[in-house]
Chain A
């Protein structure tokens, strides 16, 4: 199966940090509108596309937000101070380019620090190349959010870019929406907001939909780089079926169903036992009276950097697994 690089590239290049998911929502809406029966945007901004069916309600969640940096102060010389939106590392940020919604580009640097090990975001600033505060406020206001600016790269094997977390999950959901031939299930594809700041969009959309079963699609870390912490997940070993992370122990029914379908269809897969982190599934499974929930993960190196890397084969396997799973009639 060919890999749809064009769609992946578009998805990662759209500016949409947590709390300001407007652009990516419009893009995804346009992508899916001809393939779903109903489309809705809820109060927090989640995009919900429904493919109607007579069977059980199934919620598929992929988050559309990305990590970013919010401006908290502008000094007299026009330097911007910032706070993090989601997991922003000072070490990864140092020397990076950032871009604001209006296209303003800046670079991140820091005050002189004696010990780089103690580098903190509060000692860092964004330089947008202006000479004073007046020039700065013409472009940027306190409260504006920027994101890392970096290109999309690929070879035959992998893609790498910023915010594969979780645009590649959105990619899997979009491709699945387009590929599903027929399903008896009542499918709710939710592109959630504010995952990076605490699974917030998933919590409220799950309440609204009240699904019988749910599947989150997100990236997961890998243990296949030099001297990495021991972790069995690696690139090119297939889609990852989540067993646990810090937010959930996936429901055995959902997990086993995924394994069964992968086996039946010869879809390469690996089991993911993650000892940190969390995904939308963590919020969804605790909604109302509880929702049996699992997660399909895309193994990704260097998560929350500008060079997150994932395998095309793994991504395609994730799409295959999701399509086959959703086409199967879920009875209970």
Chain B
């Protein structure tokens, strides 16, 4: 399955090649033009009977992860995080390091040896290391180098009632949706852009937009979902199984009101469930996209994902299906001057 392949691939910001290769392989027979730009974005164009307004649909390929910063004499690896990772979740997680895909674990002192005050405090990054089973610096150096990337090791599994658990659903779910959309026989021509380095500051989106010069853009995301009972209703950003989340505002964009209403209208007309993303926290590629050159209109449509930026993000298949339906409906209805 495509989402399984995408989430299990390695693509920490700045090292998206494996994900990019999968994407290119998947879409190359369905698009009319394809290029990898200087910074590593995939920019593809799929012709259609209609192509105005000039539409760009984007998803970022990268995920949060790690870079090896040092190897000590005993062969243990020091590392730093790439993108926003809660350091408290790192201990005892399996990881995969470097091009040779060396398995490792993030270790720490066992509970028996911890003093009482140590048990009360979360371990900080500088107290953690990756153990790849090497006995010395030399042995470790045969397998990996300083500067190598590492990812969480986490299998894609389906569980519960219609749920998926995987790493990097933020934002392989967006990549998967965009690939599926490219394969669909849509009448509307559009640019499909898979960006790099979103997690470290929306880096790839600016250059891609500079090239494409879209009039409107749809940014696909896997977004924050925190729907546990202890959260006040109004502070829940999105909920699982309530449909695609349409963004209102975040740290980087005040989403165009008319385009948002247009999309809501399409969802309602086609009986597709939707929800609003009710928080203004976070940001995404839209922040760069809508401010590039003379400016353009953007919207963000997301699949709600619990526990993002961890090895165990969770989403519902029905949210994926409904997001896909909404995207197809938008592509079949959109016309110049609609909003």
Contacts and interface: CB of A to CB of B under 8 A. Distances in A.
Interface of A: 18-20, 42-44, 46, 70, 72-73, 75, 81, 83-85, 122, 142-143, 194, 197-198, 200-201, 203-205, 207-208
5 contacts: A19-B249, A43-B296, A81-B234, A200-B290, A207-B293
A57 to B, nearest CB: 15
B49 interface: no
B81 interface: no
A73 B233 contact: yes
Contact of A200 (B260, B291, B297): B291
A194 B276 CA distance: 21
Given A19-B257, A85-B249, A208 B294 contact: yes
Interface of B: 215, 233-235, 248-249, 252, 254-257, 260, 276, 278-280, 290-297
Contacts of A44: 290, 295-297
Contacts of B280: 70, 72, 83-84
Contacts of A46: 295
A203 B297 contact: no
Nearest to A143: B248
A70 B248 contact: yes
A197 B234 CA distance: 22
A43 B295 contact: yes
Contact of A83 (B252, B256, B279, B290): B279
B254 A85 contact: yes
Given A42-B294, A73-B234, A75-B233, A19 B254 contact: yes
A208 B292 CA distance: 10
Q: Which of A42, A72, A122, A142 has the most CB of B within 10 A?
A: A72
Contact of B249 (A73, A83, A204): A83
A106 to B, nearest CB: 15
Given A205-B295, A207-B295, 10 more contacts: A20-B257, A42-B295, A70-B249, A73-B233, A73-B278, A75-B234, A83-B248, A85-B249, A200-B290, A203-B291
Contacts of A201: 295
A70 B215 CA distance: 25
Contacts of B235: 122
Contact of B257 (A43, A81, A142, A143): A143
Which 3 A/B pairs are nearest by Cβ-Cβ distance?
A204-B295, A73-B234, A81-B234
B260 A143 contact: yes
B277 to A, nearest CB: 9
Contacts of B279: 72, 83
B291 A204 contact: yes
Q: Which of B234, B278, B280 has the most CB of A within 10 A?
A: B234
A207 B233 contact: no
Contacts of A43: 215, 294-297
